[in-house]
Amino acid sequence: MAKVIRYSHGLEHETAAFGPFTFEEYVEEVRRFHAYPGPGVILGGFMVEKAKEQVPSGVLYNAVSETFTCLPDAIQLLTPCTIGNGRLKIVHLGHFALALYDKETGEGVRVGIDHEKLEPFREIRSWLFKLKRKEEQDQDLLIEEIRAAGRHILTVRSVCARVQSLRLPKKKGVSLCPICREAYPSEYGPTCAGCRGQGPYLRWPVGP
């Protein structure tokens, strides 16, 4: 059972755990993993824990982040779902929301922000709606408000994920590109996508 602490300035927070971490330990993990204590990753910790509570015991779940900013790191820190193991899919809808779902049936839970509950938390609202530039934000107050708001500003809804479309495609075969001499999925065609000019680099490393 989480204990509630009330501060003299009126804010209060629950001393709930974040996976194996206390709030302070989680903030330090965020600092280490994310390069700085990003407010989105910290608030995302509350969201992940709220979602995990709704998943029935024994269910093997996957995750969806509806934004590529911050939330994926909270998911990777607090669940076994990562981009690398294919259990976390980022579908950028621009919503600050995430879902955990049964990888077989798709049944799951989506956690987002209840904007109507943000009125007491002016710094969170300002951050979420980008009403201030980053350098104008009061970072200490923002983190304090996130800690105080915690799960109280979250919404929880049931969802059913499109399981097939969220699965990583399986490689049908592997070929050796005749130009760059690197392995690539055969279904991409006679040469790799990079050598067809579809890579992320201005200068593609062709040849040995």
Q: Which of 7-21, 81-95, 174-188 has the lowest mean pLDDT?
A: 7-21
CA geometry: angle at 50 spanning 128 and 42, to 5°? 45
Residue 207's pLDDT is what? 57
4-166 belongs to CATH 3.30.460.10? no
- Comparing CA positions, the residue from 164, 200, 170, 161 lying closest to residue 66 is 161
CA geometry: angle at 63 spanning 69 and 40, to 5°? 25
Q: Which of 72-86, 150-164, 192-206 has the lowest mean pLDDT?
A: 192-206
Instruction: Name the residue ranges covered by the structural domains of the chain.
Output: 4-166, 171-208
Residue 169's pLDDT is what? 81
Residue 162's pLDDT is what? 97
Proportion of the chain above pLDDT 90, given as a percent = 81
CATH domain 171-208 topology: Wheat Germ Agglutinin (Isolectin 2); domain 1 (3.30.60)
- In this predicted structure, the answer to whether residue 39 has a pLDDT above a threshold of 60 is yes
